[in-house]
Amino acid sequence: MLTLRIDEKRSSNTRGQNGNQWLHPDIVAMQALDNKWNDLVKTCVKHSSGQNVRLWSFEVKKELNNSNIRSSFFQAVSNSSWANEGYLVATSISTNEVEEELRMLSALHGIGVIILIPENPTESEILLPARRRPEVDWQSINRILNENSDFKNFIELVSIYYQTGRIRTQDWNR
């Protein structure tokens, strides 16, 4: 999975104060599903409108607790509606009550939850898997792209992959 940080300070804010609130996530990612596929399979997928990448959205919070659970969760819902999968990511969940609320909200809205281990991100745990959407919302992507240059860069990298099948890892965050 290839990731990019989206800096909210780079948004144009042409809609006025709070006009872009909850518009875009903190982190976006592309998963190249066809990276190790045979060229014949890639050709079949391309000509049959099959899906050879999956786009992800991550809203990152330090901790999820009783006072921020709903606003954090619905921020993740709002700014990941364009993606195949959306996740709320946190380093901790304060109580079992908060975790139960997350389970209920996740079941209703399809947003997954990841417990991040900052010292070793590869050991992070998917507490609740996201409900995968078969298609991305290109209209929402277009709106975000017009508001944020980091997101535009992300879509440009996705577009390059669609066109060439090549990934330039130096263009992505590590």
Encode pLDDT of 100-144 as tens digits: 999 999 999 999 999 999 999 999 999 999 999 998 888 888 888
Distance CA 158, CA 33 (A): 12
User: Cα–Cα distances in Å, from 13 out to 8, 20, 30, 108, 154?
Assistant: 10, 6, 26, 31, 19
Domain count along the chain? 1
Residue-wise pLDDT for 16-53, tens only, equals: 776 667 777 888 888 887 888 777 667 656 755 667 78
pLDDT over 90 (residue 97): yes
Tell me the pTM.
Answer: 0.79
Residue 14 lies in a domain: no
Residue 41 lies in a domain: yes
User: 85 is in which domain, residue-wise?
Assistant: 2-6+21-167
Residue 27 lies in a domain: yes
